[in-house]
Structures are given as structure tokens and as C-alpha cells.
């Protein structure tokens, strides 16, 4: 297979106009997604049924021919595969039974772990065969800290205070939980690569709520362990790390974790983004609200990123996921604006 634009950037090359994909590019803003979601019955059925998951992943590729497709799944399939209960409630999101400190030592990833995740691996393999040759396939998982916060609180919270309190009150248990999640999540990523994923992304959506010491201990160290395991088993597969909200802690994140490319949220200043780009590829970082607003706000945001980061290895993306209210026409406008920048 010839190198795609996305993989060229992962290799440190500058491609202009840059390759483009968007976090949550398969989602509720698309009418075809909403139709299939209603047919599936539940969100987990959508994730675990390869027929549905393949179709949902392909929907935005057909519409916009993004340069990369990302596996349609959820970061919480890992604790679900570890035997934790999980459901998704309309208007509330994921709900789990909060894990108690005494339950952490019993978490094990035996045969049942990969059996439950087998539909995900099948989805990856089928996507690899069905995607156009110029579209790369990204596998993913949640970072241990972010996954742990949901396991501890049982749901998302504004600042993940339950997870932070758990860690301060039970530091050794928190280390044990994060270590287990790092090992099991890395194994999950390895299986995705073996099934056909070209690259991987690790989402640390809640890294921005921690102080410096906890960021190092709960975000950096577990991801570094994951990257080491994946590298040992899969060689140099590109890994994108996305420590959302990390602020100044993001400066050394790539060096300390060993990731290939660094995902940037929309709060990262262009000066810092350019500095991070001198160390390797960056991905981002348009504010999703600019996409929702459209018009001049969208155009100005796109143009600034291309102007400031287009002369280095860049994957154009949002600084977080597409929101459900975004008009499809705004996504079309964004894609056209990026691709027409080359002249």
C-alpha cells in the first residue's frame, strides 16, 4: 500500500494542504448516523456489532473523503471488557457502577477480555479491507487516567473530583488501577494493530484537571508504559497522544511518553503549537465552536492554523470532537477551505 498523506505526516514530513480528519467525525451531526443509531437499539450495540460499526465509520469517509478514518467505538469498552457494568443513558452519557478500592486488585484481563472485544477487532479488520487505499485507519483507546475517572465516579463530572479524591486518599490503589489499565489497554491497542490499524490515538480527555505531580504520576507514566508495550510488540506504529487541557504540562509530554504525534486542544497558543511541532507532528486544533458557528469564524480559525502550522508536519483536526449540532454544510466548508489552501 502506498503511503497516505496522513502516514507521511506521521513520518515527520510536511504535506500541504495537510491531511484532515476530525474527532467524532462519525456521530450525531450526520443524519445517516442518527438513522443507524435508532436501528441499532443502544449505543453499545452500535459499538459491538461489526456491521453497524463498520458502516458508521465509513459514513463520514463517503461524505467528505477524510484522509483518515477512526474506529467507531468508545473508550469505556475496556472497563466493560474487564467485567464492569456499562450503559449509556440519553442525555447523561455513560453510567457505570463506581469501583471500590477493594475491587481494584480483582480486575483481570483473562480470555473473556478479548472475547468481549472480538467484535472490535473484527470491525478493524473489515475496515482495513473496505476503506479506500488513500485513507488511513486509526485505532484508539482511552488513557488510563481518563478511563479510571469514569470507573471511580461512575459517570462524567465537571472536574472529575471523585477520581482525584480517590487518588489522594488511595494513592497505592490508584497506581495499581492505572497500571492495570495501562497494560490491558496497550494489549487492546496491539490487537487493533494486528487487525489492521495503521496508527493509534490515546485519548486523555481529563488530563487538564490535575496538578503537576499528579499529571506526571497519573497521566504521563501510564501512557509511557502503554507506548513502551505497543512499541515492543508492534514496532514503530504511529501513536498520537491527546492530553486535552494539559496546558504548560504538555511541553514535555511527547518526550516523556514516547508518542509520535501530539494532539492539541483549541486552547493551545500558536506559539506553543509551533514549538511542539519542532519536535514532531502535531494534530489539531480548531475550536469545535468555530465549526458550529461557520462563516467568518470558521474561515478565520482554519486560515490561522494553516498559516501558523502548515509549514511543518500537521494533521488538521479539531481541538476536540464535533458537536451534534454542527450543520453538515459547515463540515463541507471546513474540508473545502483546508483542501483549497494549496492553491
Residue pair 107/117 in contact by the 8 Å Cβ criterion = no
> Which entry of 29, 33, 48, 150 is annotated as an active-site residue?
150
* Bridge partners of residue 137, in order along the sequence: 69
> Which entry of 67, 74, 204, 265 is annotated as an active-site residue?
74
Q: Which cell is 306 given?
A: 494553516
Q: How far apart are CA 93 and CA 101, in angstroms?
A: 24
Q: What is 273-340 written as a DSSP string?
A: HHHHHTTS-EEEEE-HHHHHH-HHHHHHHHHHHHHHHTTSSEEEEESSPPPTT--HHHHHHHHHHHHG
Q: How far apart are CA 282 and CA 76, in angstroms?
A: 26
Q: 3-state DSSP call for residue 73?
A: coil
Whether 121 sits among the annotated catalytic residues: the reply is no
> Which entry of 37, 126, 191, 337 is annotated as an active-site residue?
37
Report CA torsion sign: 205, 146, 135, 71: negative
Whether 28 sits among the annotated catalytic residues: the reply is yes
How far are the Cα atoms of 58, 115, 183, 186, 262 from residue 232, in angstroms, in the given order? 31, 23, 13, 11, 20
Whether 24 sits among the annotated catalytic residues: the reply is yes
Whether 179 sits among the annotated catalytic residues: the reply is no
Whether 29 sits among the annotated catalytic residues: the reply is no
The residues assigned a catalytic role are 24, 28, 37, 74, 150
Amino acid at each position: 500500500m502506498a503511503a497516505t498523506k496522513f502516514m507521511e505526516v506521521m513520518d515527520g514530513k510536511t504535506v500541504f494542504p495537510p491531511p484532515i480528519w476530525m474527532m467524532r467525525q462519525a456521530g450525531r451531526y450526520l443524519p445517516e448516523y442518527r438513522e443507524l443509531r435508532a436501528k441499532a437499539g443502544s449505543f453499545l450495540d452500535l459499538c459491538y456489532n461489526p456491521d453497524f460499526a463498520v458502516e458508521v465509520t465509513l459514513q463520514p469517509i463517503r461524505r467528505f473523503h477524510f484522509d483518515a478514518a477512526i474506529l467507531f467505538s468508545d473508550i469505556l469498552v475496556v472497563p466493560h471488557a474487564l467485567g464492569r457494568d456499562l450503559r449509556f443513558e440519553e442525555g447523561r452519557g455513560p453510567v457505570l457502577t463506581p469501583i471500590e478500592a477493594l475491587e481494584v486488585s480483582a480486575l483481570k484481563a483473562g480470555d473473556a477480555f478479548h472475547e468481549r472485544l472480538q467484535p472490535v477487532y473484527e470491525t478493524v479488520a473489515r475496515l482495513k479491507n473496505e476503506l479506500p487505499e488513500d485513507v488511513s485507519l486509526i485505532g484508539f483507546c482511552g488513557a488510563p487516567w481518563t478511563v479510571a475517572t469514569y470507573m471511580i465516579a461512575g459517570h462524567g463530572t465537571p472536574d472529575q473530583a471523585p477520581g482525584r479524591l480517590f487518588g489522594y486518599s488511595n494513592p497505592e490503589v490508584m497506581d495499581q488501577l492505572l497500571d492495570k489499565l495501562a497494560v490491558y489497554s496497550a494489549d487492546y491497542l496491539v490487537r487493533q494493530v494486528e487487525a489492521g490499524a495503521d496508527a493509534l490515538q490515546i485519548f486523555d480527555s481529563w488530563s487538564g484537571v490535575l496538578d503537576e505531580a499528579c499529571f506526571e504520576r497519573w497521566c504521563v507514566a501510564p501512557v509511557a508504559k502503554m507506548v513502551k508495550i505497543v512499541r515492543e510488540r508492534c514496532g514503530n506504529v504511529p501513536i498520537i497522544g491527546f492530553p486535552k487541557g494539559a496546558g504548560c504540562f504538555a511541553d514535555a509530554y511527547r518526550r516523556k511518553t514516547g508518542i509520535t504525534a501530539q494532539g492539541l486542544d483549541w486552547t493551545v497558543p500558536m506559539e506553543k503549537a509551533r514549538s511542539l511541532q519542532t519536535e514532531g507532528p502535531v494534530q489539531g486544533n480548531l475550536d469545535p465552536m468555530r465549526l458550529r458557528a461557520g462563516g467568518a469564524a470558521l474561515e478565520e480559525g482554519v486560515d490561522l492554523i494553516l498559516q501558523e502550522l502548515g509549514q511543518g508536519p500537521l494533521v488538521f483536526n479539531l481541538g476536540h470532537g464535533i458537536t451534534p449540532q454542527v450543520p453538515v454544510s459547515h463540515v463541507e466548508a471546513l474540508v473545502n477551505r483546508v483542501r483549497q489552501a494549496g492553491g
